[in-house]
Copies of this chain bind each other. A is one copy, B any other.
C-alpha cells in the first residue's frame, strides 16, 4: 500500500475525541477550543483616542493650515485611563492621550504633531475629518462576536483576543491519551543492566516525544514480551485509550503474532507499506480504538511516526495538519534508490548542501544526526550530486 492510501485510511478511521475540559487562559495556548468564545462586551469598550493630541469637533478644524491655524480653547487634559468629566463645546478641545476615551462632545483627534500649544489655547495646523484618529467602540470586537470559534487552535493572538474579553478560562478538547508499548523479548527498560543479546528501549522515548509534540499525552506502558498472551492483554488494554502504539516485533514471528492478535480482537486495515524505511507498519481498529504497529528498528519507527502517526494524533486532538518546514538544498552526493518503495532519506544540511546521513534502519543515529529528510518517489532511481532537493526539516 502506498503512502497516500495509508494516510487516507488513517484519516477516515479516526475522529477528534469529544471529551472537553476547562483550562485557565494562561495554559490554553496551543489547545483546541471546544465551544465558541463569544464577546460579552465591545472591544474597545468605548470610543477611543488612537493618537496623542487634542480631542476636537472636526468642523472646528476645517480649513486649518500651518500659516492660518485654527485656535481652540484647551479646557482640560486626559491621560490614558482617565475620563474627562466635562463636555467640549464649539471651538473647545481637551488634550488627550492615546488609549483614553474620546471626550464627550468631540468626534475626532488632531495629532499633537499638527498643533502648537499657546497658553490656554492650541493652534490646530491641519484639519481632521469626523472620526479621524479614533477607534470607535466595538471596532475590534463586537458584543456577540464569536471571536474564536470551536475547533480553532489557540494561537498567541487568539489567546490575546480572549484576554481582551476578560475570558479567564476556556473549554478545550482534552488531549488524547496514547498508550505506548515496546514489544520484543530483547528490549529492556533503561536503568537495568543488560544481559547478552539485550538492548535498551529506544522507541517508547522517541514515540513519547512525537506524541506530545502533536497535542496528545503519551502514556508509557512498558515492554511486552514476544508471547501471544502478553500481546493480547496489551492490545486489549490499549483499546481502552484513545490510541495504542506498539513498536517492535522486529522478527517475522512476533510481527505475525501482533497482526493476528489485532485481527482476532478487531480489524487490520493495512499491514505493509510501500515505504522505506518502515515497510512492516500496521494499522487497525480494536473496540473502536486505532492501533498502530510500528517497526521495531528505531529509525524506521520514528520515520513512520512522523509520516503516519503524527497526522493520526493531530486528527484525534482536533489540530489541523502540520505545515512542514522545508528548505531547498543541493544534493552533496549522488544517491541511488533501488528499493521500488517510496524512500525517506535522512540528510544533514550544511551551507545549503544536503548530505545523506542514513546508515541503517536499526541505527538511531540515522535520524539523530539528521536535520531533515528528502522523499524519493517510488519510481525515482537516482538523485545526482548537485541536484536541487526539498528537505523536510525534522
Contact = CB atoms under 8 A, between A and B. Distances in A.
A263 interface: no
A262 interface: no
Interface stretch (A1-9, A117-125, A191-199, A270-278): A191-199
A227 to B, nearest CB: 11
Contacts of A166: 190-191, 200
Given A43-B364, A156-B210, A251 B79 contact: yes
A324 B324 CA distance: 10
Interface string A158-180: 11111111111000000000000
A368 B99 contact: no
Among A29, A100, A163, A363, the most chain B Cβ lie within 10 Å of the Cβ of: A163
A191 B168 contact: yes
A368 B160 contact: yes
A29 B213 CA distance: 9
Interface residues of A, number: 92
Given A25-B190, A196-B46, A296-B99, A251 B80 contact: yes
A390 interface: no
B80 A140 contact: no
A199 B360 CA distance: 59
A370 interface: yes
Given A155-B394, A196-B83, A252-B52, A44 B210 contact: no
B160 A302 contact: yes
Interface stretch (A57-65, A201-209, A232-240, A376-384): A201-209
Contacts of A164: 199-200, 202, 298, 364
Given A157-B302, A160-B298, A200-B164, A97 B253 contact: yes
Given A209-B29, A250-B98, A160 B364 contact: yes
29 contacts: A25-B190, A26-B205, A26-B208, A29-B212, A43-B364, A45-B199, A52-B251, A79-B251, A80-B226, A80-B251, A83-B196, A112-B252, A135-B360, A140-B360, A140-B363, A140-B365, A141-B365, A148-B368, A156-B367, A157-B302, A158-B368, A160-B202, A160-B364, A162-B205, A163-B201, A163-B205, A164-B364, A168-B190, A323-B393
Given A26-B220, A50-B360, A79-B226, 11 more contacts: A25-B205, A79-B251, A80-B254, A83-B196, A99-B186, A99-B199, A140-B364, A147-B365, A155-B209, A157-B299, A163-B206
